[in-house]
Structure formats: C-alpha cells, structure tokens
Amino acid sequence: MAANWSQPLSTLFGPRPVETPDGRLLRTLADARAYANSLPAHTTDNDPHWQHAAGILIWAAETPAAVVFTHHAVKRAVYGGDEPAPIGRMSYKERKAAAFKEKRRKAKGR
C-alpha cells in the first residue's frame, strides 16, 4: 500500500493542527514531515521524541488507523516533551506561580 501523507495529524476529535513555536500550523502528515526535514539534523537525530514521532508518522502514512497517535507524538517532538498549555489556559506551573503571587499580594494587604 502506498503511503498517504495527506491525512490530517489527528482524526480522534476532528482535525487538530499542531502549532510550532515559530507559529506554523502542522495540519497533515506531510506538513509534519516537511517541518521535521526543515530542522537541523542534530535536532532530530539525537532526540528520542523526534525519533518516536518519525516512526509514528511513517506508520500512520502506511496504516490509516494509526493516524490517531500522530498528534500527540508530533506535539511532544515539537516541544521536546514540554507541551504548551492549550490556548486560553495556564499550565500547572503558571497557575501555581499566579496563586503564590496572589497569596503574597493579599498577605501584604495590597
């Protein structure tokens, strides 16, 4: 069976693109492959997240049912395992820091 790189990165909850740190949106397997190929080799060759994502991308291109795993694998690779919080939400660290600042502000009576 020929590889189908035009599939969306995720079909589980509808197509969900992965936003890269430079603002690009990776919508399809081909977008993710092109993004990975545009990175310096030392970035992707030694990173276990990218190695895993590359394997998942190839598997998904050859096996349509495997596409449900690609969104998470690519997102982990793009962000090095530190996935950003969803838009409009704070991460756990940000919430904890904000709660600490609020507690200090109230203690000082401001």
Q: What is the pLDDT of residue 38?
A: 92
Give me the residue label for tokens 């895993």.
52
Is there a contact between 25 and 16 (Cβ–Cβ < 8 Å)? no
Q: What is the pLDDT of residue 78?
A: 87
Q: pLDDT by residue (tens digit) across 84-105?
A: 555 556 666 777 787 888 888 8
Rounded Cα distance, 10 and 16, in Å: 6
Q: pLDDT by residue (tens digit) across 29-67?
A: 999 999 999 988 887 888 888 999 999 999 999 988 888
Q: What is the pLDDT of residue 82?
A: 66
Rounded Cα distance, 11 and 23, in Å: 22
* 5's tokens: 């790189």
Rounded Cα distance, 38 and 44, in Å: 10
